C-alpha cells in the first residue's frame, strides 16, 4: 500500500536533509527504500545504492563482542581502515575492551553510530540516530556529522524529532502522505 | 484478448465463480459413473480378487497428488516472474487439495497392500516417495500459514516450491536407490498401466477424468475463497487508514 | 566474507554462543539408542551407520534457527544486507560458519561414538567420509530454511518441518554409503551421488537463500 507520494529531493556533496513528520508517516519506509532494502512502488532513486550506509534504530550490536572488535568487524566487512580517532570521536575510549553486552543503552547507541564513521560511506541514511543519547552525546554526534562527514563532501538524510543544531534543511513529509485512494501497492488489485 | 487478462482477481473471480457449481456436479457425475462401473461392473481379477478394485480410487488420487504439486510449481513460477496474485493464490489453494490426494493415495495403498502383501505398510519406493511428498505438502502449507504478510508469504512459498521440487525429484531417485540396496524392490512395486486389461482400464480412465474435474472444481473454489479473503483484508486495511484522518 | 565468517565463529565460541550444544546433543542421542534397542552388539553394529547419520542430522537441525534469528533480533541483518557483501555470499558465509561450528565437530566425534555402537572398524573411514561430504549440504539446506523462516514466531518448529523433507536424499545417500562400507560392499556410488548433491547445493542454494532474505528484509 502506498505510504508517501510525490517526495522528491536532490542532495549535492556536503548537504544534509532532515526528514520530519508524525510517527508512522513513513520516514523509516523512505530511508529503507533509499537504502535498497525494499522496492519503491514507483519513481526513481539514484546515487544511493552502493554509496549508502544505513543505520536503523537497532544497532546490531553483539553482546559477546567488545567495542573494538565490533568496529573492527565493520571495517573489515566494508574493507576500510579503522579511523584512529573513532573511539575519541564517540567517547568510547574507556570502553574499548568492554563486551558490548555490558554497555548502557546510550553507550550502545554511541557504538552503533561509531559504525557510521568506520564504514566510509558517502551517503548516510539515519533513522532516529539520537534516540537514548544524552545532550552531550548528541552534540558529539552532530560534530561528527558536520565536521567529519558533511565537510568532506558526504551526504546525510536524517529522520529525527530533535534539533541537532546543524542548521540543515528540513523536509516535512506531512503533505506527501499518500491519499486514501492512491494507486499502487499489492492490495490494489483486490479493491 | 490475452489469457493474462484473467490474472486480474476480479475478472478471474467473475469468470470462474459461475463455473464452480457446474464443475462440481460434472465431477460428481463422472466419478459416480467411473466408480460404480469400476466397483460393480468389472470382472474380478484372477489373482487379486475384488481387492484390486481399489485402484479406481488409488491410481487417480496418486495421479492428482503429483499433478497438484506440478500445478503449484507452475503457479509459483508465474507468480515469481509475472507477479500475478491469482497465480500465487491458486498455488496456495491447490496445496491442501494435493495433500488430501496424497493422503487418499497412501491410505488406499495401505488398504490394498494389506491383503496383497500381508502388511499395511511396506517401504516400497513408490509408497515412500508419496510419504515424502506428503511431508513436502505439510511444510509448504505450514509456511503459507505462518507468514502474516501475503506478498512475502507468496514469495517465500514460491521459492520453497521451486527448491522443494528439485529435492522431491532427488528424493524419488534416492528412495529407488535406497530400496534396491536393501530389499528386492521390484516384486513389491505395483506396475499398473502395463498389465491392466482394457476392461479395467476404461473405467479407470473415467475415474481419472473425475478426479481431474474434482481437483479443478476444488482449486477454483478455493482460489475464489482466497481472493475474497484478500479482498476483505485489503478493504479492512483501507478502512483502518481512514480512522486517523477522522480523529 | 572472511570478516563475517570470523565474526560468526567468534560469536559461536564465546559465552552464550551455543558452540558444543550440537555435539552434546549428538552424544546424548547416540547414547540413548542402546537403551532403546537393547545392548546386543550385533544389532547395534548393524544399525550404527544409520543411527549416527540420523543423530548427526538432528544435531545439525538443532542450531539452524540461530543462523539468522539473532541477527534479525538485534537489527544486524539490514545492516549486513546494506554492506558491500552480496547476500549470496552472506548466505554462503553463514552456512560455512554453521558447518564449522556444528558439522565439523560431528564429523570428528563420529568415530568415537561409532565405537560406542560397535561400528566395525572397516566402516569407520566410510562413515567419516560420508559425514564430511554430507554435513556441508545439511548446513546449506538449513541456511536456506532459516532464511525462509526468519522473524516468524515459532520459526524453529516450522524450520524443522520445512528442512527435514529436504534432508531425505542426503540422509539416504550418506547412510547408504556408511552402511555399504560397514558391510564391505562398494560404497563409491552413493558417495559420488552425495558429493554431487552437496556441490549442487553449494552452487545453487545460496541464490535461493539470498532471494528469501531479500523478501524477509522487506
CA distance C65 to B18: 46
Q: Do residues A120 and A154 make contact, with C-beta atoms less than 8 angstroms apart?
A: no
Q: What is the ipTM of this complex?
A: 0.92
pLDDT value, residue B46: 61
pLDDT value, residue C98: 94
Mind listing the pLDDT tens digit for each residue in A111-138? 999 999 999 899 999 999 888 888 899 9
Overall average pLDDT of the B166-179 stretch: 89
* Contact at CB, B237 and A186, closer than 8 angstroms: no
Give the Å distances, CA to CA, from B223 to A115, A169, B12, B95, B215. 48, 50, 9, 11, 12
Choose the closest CB to B85 out of A1, A180, A189.
Answer: A189
pLDDT value, residue B246: 43
pLDDT value, residue A175: 87
Mean pLDDT of chain B: 86
| C42 inside 8 A of chain A by CB | no
Residue A184 above 70 pLDDT?
no
**Which other chains touch chain A, taking contact as 3+ CB pairs less than 8 Å apart?**
B, C
pLDDT value, residue B195: 54
- Tell me the torsion sign for CA atoms B27, B24, B136, B121: negative
* Contact at CB, A64 and C84, closer than 8 angstroms: no
pLDDT value, residue C13: 85
Contacts 24+ apart (CB under 8 A), A88-93: A89/A114, A89/A117, A89/A140, A89/A143, A89/A144, A89/A148, A90/A114, A90/A117, A90/A137, A90/A140, A90/A141, A90/A144, A91/A137, A91/A140, A92/A67
Overall average pLDDT of the C80-103 stretch: 94
The pLDDT confidence band at residue B186, using thresholds 50, 70 and 90, is very low
The pLDDT confidence band at residue B187, using thresholds 50, 70 and 90, is very low
* Contact at CB, B234 and A180, closer than 8 angstroms: no
CA distance A160 to chain C (A): 19
pLDDT value, residue A182: 67
The lowest-confidence range among B88-97, B175-184, C176-185 is B175-184
Residue B189 above 50 pLDDT?
no
- Partners of B8 on chain A (C-beta within 8 Å) are 189
* Contact at CB, A76 and C6, closer than 8 angstroms: yes
pLDDT value, residue B229: 92
Return the percentage of chain A with pLDDT > 90, whole number: 49
Mind listing the pLDDT tens digit for each residue in A9-21? 999 999 999 999 8
**Where do the structural domains in chain A lie, given as residue ranges?**
16-174
Q: How many domains does chain C have?
A: 1
Q: Give the helix, strand, coil percentages of chain B, each rounded to 5.
A: 85, 0, 15
Tell which wins on pLDDT, A97 or B115.
A97
The domain in which residue C19 lies consists of 2-217
Residue B244 above 80 pLDDT?
no
**Which other chains touch chain C, taking contact as 3+ CB pairs less than 8 Å apart?**
A, B
- Partners of C180 on chain B (C-beta within 8 Å) are 181
CA distance A135 to chain C (A): 25
**Residue B2 resides in a domain:** no
Overall average pLDDT of the B127-142 stretch: 94
CA distance B127 to B117: 13
- Partners of A32 on chain C (C-beta within 8 Å) are 78
pLDDT value, residue B247: 40
The domain in which residue B141 lies consists of 20-42+50-236
The pLDDT confidence band at residue B47, using thresholds 50, 70 and 90, is low
Overall average pLDDT of the C109-118 stretch: 91
Give the Å distances, CA to CA, from C130 to A61, A77, A171, B169, B207. 38, 34, 61, 21, 46
- By C-alpha distance, which of B12, B73, B11, B7 is closest to B221? B12
Tell which wins on pLDDT, C194 or A59.
C194
pLDDT value, residue B180: 64
Q: How many domains does chain B have?
A: 1
Overall average pLDDT of the C162-171 stretch: 95
The pLDDT confidence band at residue B182, using thresholds 50, 70 and 90, is very low
The pLDDT confidence band at residue B183, using thresholds 50, 70 and 90, is very low
Return the percentage of chain A with pLDDT > 70, whole number: 97
The pLDDT confidence band at residue B243, using thresholds 50, 70 and 90, is low
| A190 inside 8 A of chain B by CB | yes
Mind listing the pLDDT tens digit for each residue in A20-79? 988 888 899 999 999 999 988 888 998 887 889 999 888 889 999 999 999 999 999 999
pLDDT value, residue B48: 63
* Contact at CB, C148 and B156, closer than 8 angstroms: yes
Mind listing the pLDDT tens digit for each residue in C8-38? 988 888 877 677 888 999 999 999 999 999 9
Q: Find, in chain A, the residue whose alpha carbon is nearest to that of C71.
A: A60
**Residue B8 resides in a domain:** no
Q: Kindly state the greatest CA–CA separation across chain A.
A: 58
Name the class of domain A16-174: alpha beta
Overall average pLDDT of the B196-217 stretch: 88
Residue B156 above 90 pLDDT?
yes
| A108 inside 8 A of chain C by CB | no
Amino acid at each position: 500500500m502506498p505510504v508517501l507520494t510525490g517526495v522528491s529531493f536532490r542532495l549535492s556533496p556536503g548537504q544534509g536533509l532532515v526528514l520530519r513528520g508524525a510517527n508512522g508517516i513513513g520516514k523509516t519506509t523512505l530511508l529503507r527504500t533509499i537504502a535498497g532494502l525494499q522496492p519503491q512502488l514507483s519513481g526513481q532513486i539514484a546515487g544511493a545504492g552502493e554509496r549508502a550506509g544505513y543505520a536503523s534504530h537497532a544497532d546490531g550490536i553483539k553482546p559477546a563482542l567488545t567495542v573494538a572488535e565490533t568496529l573492527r568487524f565493520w571495517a573489515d566487512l566494508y574493507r576500510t581502515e579503522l579511523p584512529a580517532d573513532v573511539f575519541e570521536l564517540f567517547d568510547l575510549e574507556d570502553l574499548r575492551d568492554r563486551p558490548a553486552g555490558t554497555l548502557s543503552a546510550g553507550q550502545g547507541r554511541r557504538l552503533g553510530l561509531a559504525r557510521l564513521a568506520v564504514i566510509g560511506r558517502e551517503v548516510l541514511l539515519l533513522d532516529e540516530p539520537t534516540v537514548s543519547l544524552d545532550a552531550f552525546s548528541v552534540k558529539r554526534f552532530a560534530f561528527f556529522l558536520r565536521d567529519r562527514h558533511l565537510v568532506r563532501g558526504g551526504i546525510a538524510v536524517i529522520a529525527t524529532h530533535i534539533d541537532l543544531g546543524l542548521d540543515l534543511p528540513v523536509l516535512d513529509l506531512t503533505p506527501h502522505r499518500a491519499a486514501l485512494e492512491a494507486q499502487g501497492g499489492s492490495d490494489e488489485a483486490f479493491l | 484478448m490475452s489469457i493474462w487478462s484473467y490474472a486480474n482477481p476480479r475478472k478471474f473471480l467473475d469468470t470462474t465463480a459461475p463455473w464452480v457449481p457446474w464443475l462440481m456436479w460434472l465431477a460428481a457425475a463422472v466419478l459416480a459413473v467411473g466408480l460404480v462401473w469400476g466397483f460393480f461392473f468389472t470382472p474380478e481379477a484372477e489373482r487379486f480378487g475384488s481387492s484390486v478394485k481399489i485402484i479406481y480410487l488409488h491410481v487417480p488420487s496418486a495421479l492428482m497428488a503429483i499433478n497438484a504439486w506440478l500445478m503449484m510449481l507452475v503457479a509459483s513460477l508465474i507468480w515469481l516472474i509475472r507477479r500475478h496474485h491469482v497465480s500465487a493464490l491458486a498455488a496456495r489453494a491447490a496445496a491442501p487439495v494435493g495433500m488430501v490426494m496424497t493422503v487418499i493415495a497412501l491410505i488406499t495403498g495401505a488398504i490394498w497392500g494389506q491383503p496383497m502383501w500381508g502388511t499395511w505398510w511396506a517401504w516400497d519406493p513408490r509408497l515412500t516417495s508419496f510419504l515424502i511428498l506428503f511431508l513436502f505438502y505439510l511444510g509448504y502449507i505450514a509456511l503459507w500459514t505462518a507468514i502474516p504478510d501475503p506478498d512475502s508469504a507468496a514469495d517465500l512459498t514460491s521459492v520453497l516450491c521451486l527448491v522443494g521440487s528439485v529435492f522431491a525429484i532427488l528424493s524419488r531417485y534416492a528412495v529407488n536407490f535406497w530400496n534396491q540396496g536393501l530389499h528386492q524392490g521390484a516384486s513389491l512395486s505395483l506396475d499398473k498401466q502395463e498389465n491392466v486389461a482394457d476392461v479395467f482400464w476404461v473405467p479407470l480412465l473415467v475415474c481419472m477424468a473425475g478426479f481431474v474435474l474434482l481437483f479443478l472444481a476444488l482449486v477454483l473454489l478455493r482460489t475464489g475463497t482466497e481472493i475474497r479473503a484478500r479482498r476483505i483484508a485489503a478493504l479492512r486495511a483501507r478502512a483502518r487508514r481512514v480512522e486517523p484522518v477522522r480523529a | 566474507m572472511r570478516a563475517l565468517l570470523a565474526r560468526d565463529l567468534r560469536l559461536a565460541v564465546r559465552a552464550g554462543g551455543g558452540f558444543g550444544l550440537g555435539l552434546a546433543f549428538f552424544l546424548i542421542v547416540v547414547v540413548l539408542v542402546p537403551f532403546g534397542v537393547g545392548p546386543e552388539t550385533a544389532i547395534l553394529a548393524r544399525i550404527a551407520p544409520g543411527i549416527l547419520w540420523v543423530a548427526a542430522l538432528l544435531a545439525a537441525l538443532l542450531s539452524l534457527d540461530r543462523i539468522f534469528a539473532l541477527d534479525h533480533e538485534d537489527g544486524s541483518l539490514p545492516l549486513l544486507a546494506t554492506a558491500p557483501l552480496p547476500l549470496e555470499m552472506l548466505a554462503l558465509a553463514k552456512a560455512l560458519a554453521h558447518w564449522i561450528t556444528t558439522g565439523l565437530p560431528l564429523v570428528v566425534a563420529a568415530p568415537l561414538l561409532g565405537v560406542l555402537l560397535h561400528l566395525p572398524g572397516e566402516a569407520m573411514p566410510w562413515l567419516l567420509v560420508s559425514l564430511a561430504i554430507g554435513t556441508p549440504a545439511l548446513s546449506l539446506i538449513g541456511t536456506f530454511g532459516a532464511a525462509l523462516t526468519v522473524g516468524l514466531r515459532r520459526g524453529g518448529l516450522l524450520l524443522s518441518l520445512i528442512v527435514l523433507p529436504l534432508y531425505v536424499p542426503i540422509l539416504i545417500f550418506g547412510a547408504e554409503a556408511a552402511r555399504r562400507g560397514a558391510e564391505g560392499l562398494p560404497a563409491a556410488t552413493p558417495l559420488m551421488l552425495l558429493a554431487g548433491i552437496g556441490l549442487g547445493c553449494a552452487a545453487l542454494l545460496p541464490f535461493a537463500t539470498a532471494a528469501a532474505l531479500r523478501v524477509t528484509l522487506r
